[in-house]
């Protein structure tokens, strides 16, 4: 795992943006794996700016998001569909049919999971997957204990994740109990992974990742088994880690 240490959130966002733009310039038809949450927002702002300035185009790019809540309408401001359109997709020159998020609204969710995997395969796999982590070390919505062999699946959210995400909802009771998420196995099939981590509330998770073993109890630790991972981490998130 390559580790890039940066000062703060702004520097993390700009570095991630720079790496994505670089990769997009190398690839004819880039396939990006995208994430929601506070972590990638600054990166999206930077990518929008680069697109508007004419430094990068998303015309030939396809995107696949990691996850979505189960049972929330796409128009609901708390859905990940809404987030992605609001923060990124509606502001760049990507073709609507090329941006994909799993649906949390299907009657047959198992079928949706299989179809989402197939869509990723049909696109040729993910070239570059952007990831954040949860305070409990989750990636996507793969909570501690998720078998590393899982592909896209429906997950029950832990109390810790529901509490962390309740900041977007009127109360914790409104936070969905389930989500659909790419599995650890789906994520590991990406050709390259960019892991973004900022803030003191992630410091314990970062210490477990860097100093600890690979364990299903720390979902992000699976990335140590991937050969092309870059971690961009700021000072606050590194505050509990002995790096050298
Ligand atoms: P955050 O969420 O970027 O809002 O901190 C990350 C996550 O829960 O995976």
* 49-81 residue pLDDT tens: 999 999 999 999 999 999 999 999 999 999 999
Q: Candidates 134, 136, 218: which one to mutate for ligand 1, based on the most atoms within 8 Å of Cβ?
A: 134
Which residue numbers are catalytic?
67, 136, 138, 143
Q: What was the pLDDT predicted at 242?
A: 85
Q: How many domains does the chain have?
A: 1
Ligand 1 first shell, C-beta below 6 A: 37-39, 132-134, 138
Q: Is residue 162 part of a domain?
A: yes
Please report whether residue 239 resides in a domain.
no
pLDDT exceeds 80 at position 243: no
Give me ligand 1 centre to Cα 35, in Å.
Answer: 9
Query: Is residue 41 situated within a structural domain?
Result: yes
Predicted structure pTM score: 0.97
Is residue 176 assigned to a domain?
yes
Query: Mean per-residue pLDDT for 134-147?
Result: 96
65 CA from centroid of ligand 1 (Å):
14
Query: Is residue 244 assigned to a domain?
Result: no
Range of the domain at 136: 2-234
Number of CB atoms found within 10 A of residue 120's CB: 22
Of 230, 219, 62, 76, nearest to 134 (Cα)?
219
User: What CATH number has the domain bearing residue 76?
Assistant: 3.40.50.1360
Residue 162 has φ and ψ, to the nearest 5°, of -65, -35
Tell whether 242 is covered by a domain.
no
Residue 240 belongs to some domain of the structure = no
Q: What's the mean pLDDT in 37-51? A: 98
Q: Is residue 29 part of a domain?
A: yes
């Amino acid at each position: 795992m390559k580790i890039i240490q940066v000062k703060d959130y702004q520097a993390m966002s700009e570095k991630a943006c720079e790496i994505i733009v670089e990769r997009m310039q190398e690839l004819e038809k880039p396939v990006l794996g995208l994430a929601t949450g506070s972590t990638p927002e600054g990166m999206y702002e930077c990518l929008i700016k680069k697109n508007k300035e004419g430094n990068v185009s998303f015309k030939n790019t396809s995107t696949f998001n990691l996850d979505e809540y189960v049972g929330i309408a796409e128009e609901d401001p708390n859905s990940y569909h809404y987030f992605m359109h609001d923060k990124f997709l509606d502001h760049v020159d990507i073709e609507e049919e090329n941006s994909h998020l799993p649906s949390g609204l299907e009657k047959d969710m198992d079928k949706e999971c299989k179809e989402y995997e197939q869509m990723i395969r049909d696109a040729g796999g993910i070239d570059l997957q952007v990831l954040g982590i949860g305070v409990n070390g989750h990636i996507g919505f793969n909570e501690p204990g998720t078998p590393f062999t899982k592909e896209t699946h429906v997950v029950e959210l832990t109390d810790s994740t529901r509490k962390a995400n309740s900041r977007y909802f009127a109360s914790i009771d409104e936070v969905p109990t389930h989500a659909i998420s790419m599995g650890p196995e789906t994520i590991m099939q990406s050709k390259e992974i960019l892991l973004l981590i900022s803030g003191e509330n992630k410091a314990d998770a970062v210490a477990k990742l860097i100093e600890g073993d690979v364990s299903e109890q720390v979902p992000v630790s699976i990335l140590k088994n991937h050969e092309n991972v870059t971690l961009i981490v700021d000072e606050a998130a590194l505050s509990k880690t002995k790096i050298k």
